Amino acid sequence: MAMARPIRILGLLAIGLWVFFLYQVFGPTRYPKGPGDTLKNLERDPNLDPTGEPEGILHRVEEGYGIGEAGTARINATLLSLVRNEEVDGMVQAMKDLERTWNHKFNYPWTFFNDVPFSEEFKRRTQAETKAVCNYELIPKEHWDMPSWIDNGLFEESARILKENDIQYGAMKSYHQMCRWNSGLFYKHPALEHMQYYWRVEPKVHFFCDVDYDVFRYMADHNKTYGFTINLYDAPASIPTLWPETVKFVAQHPEYLHDNNAMMWLTDSARRPEHNIKANGYSTCHFWSNFEIADLSFWRSQAYEDYFNHLDRVGGFFYERWGDAPVHSIAVGLFEDASKIHWFRDIGYQHIPYFNCPNSPKCRGCVTGRFTDGEAWLHKEDCRANWFKYVGMG
């Protein structure tokens, strides 16, 4: 006997509702969307506006920046790079750019670090790119090796999960070692004992603009602690417990929290709410630390030393993929006066796939205001708008 049409319709509706219910319960989690999750109505890039040098006292090329003992105007600072012998081509290219645009005028030393001895070829080719002193340093094994409290089996399982979740470099042990060293051990090397400032330079990066003032003396004269060019969102799946551990640390040491901190930038949940949810309260905004000009006094402070040791002991540098970029950014964002963090908007810079390209007659080789020359979705990774909103463009 044929089923009556209304009954068939009700039956289909019931099945449809049941499928919908099952999808809601067992389907993929749906997250709220914010203005940063779309490519519509992207903010106008402030690099489109004319860019000049920073305001205030600037030290230019004059007496005191010669080679060796003639460099009486130079302060205790160095260009710094963690680099492998096989990356010499990329390192030479980066040196050519920075020497042409800045260091041929000021002759600050280069300090290269490696976990194995540098080859004679590396030394010969890099020294040939600069008149300044080059120092080639070996990282102590106790600073590079996986610490004794890390369980190797758990690390390997964690690395497998990170790889399954498409976390870049998550399965590379050396990458985890690098992130830990850059986070809390590089400044303990004896070669930096008498240095106060450094400018981090990586292989294959590009510099586009002539810089005619001493950036290290700018940092000192204007009481700046940290300088950046690019400000990004991180992959939440690489750092799910970094912020919860930070919250624990701050609860134990409220005295380290600066009154004029950048907490709102670190915890914003409006622009890209899914990032905040997946990172358990952290916006994932960070300064891209392949470029950083910083005062080593901050990393040597008791606040940072205690913070790094807390993070190091819980194992997230190996069981997750905590990078030095979010670790450094959270630390300066919480424990330092936000007014001491400087956007070097006048320094044209590229680390694939992102740019900082100012509107300045001193720049050539990059497109003014370009943030990326990669896929369009990469524009969503720009967190500068939040920094400008909560802190400003200083």
- Beta bridge partners, 32, equal none
Distance separating alpha carbons of residues 251 and 207, to the nearest angstrom: 41
Q: Which of 129, 274, 292, 381 is catalytic?
A: 292
Cα 158 to Cα 151, 165, 170, 196, 317: the distances in Å are: 10, 11, 9, 37, 11
Q: Would residue 255 show up in a list of annotated catalytic residues for this protein?
A: no
Hey, which residues are catalytic here?
A: 292
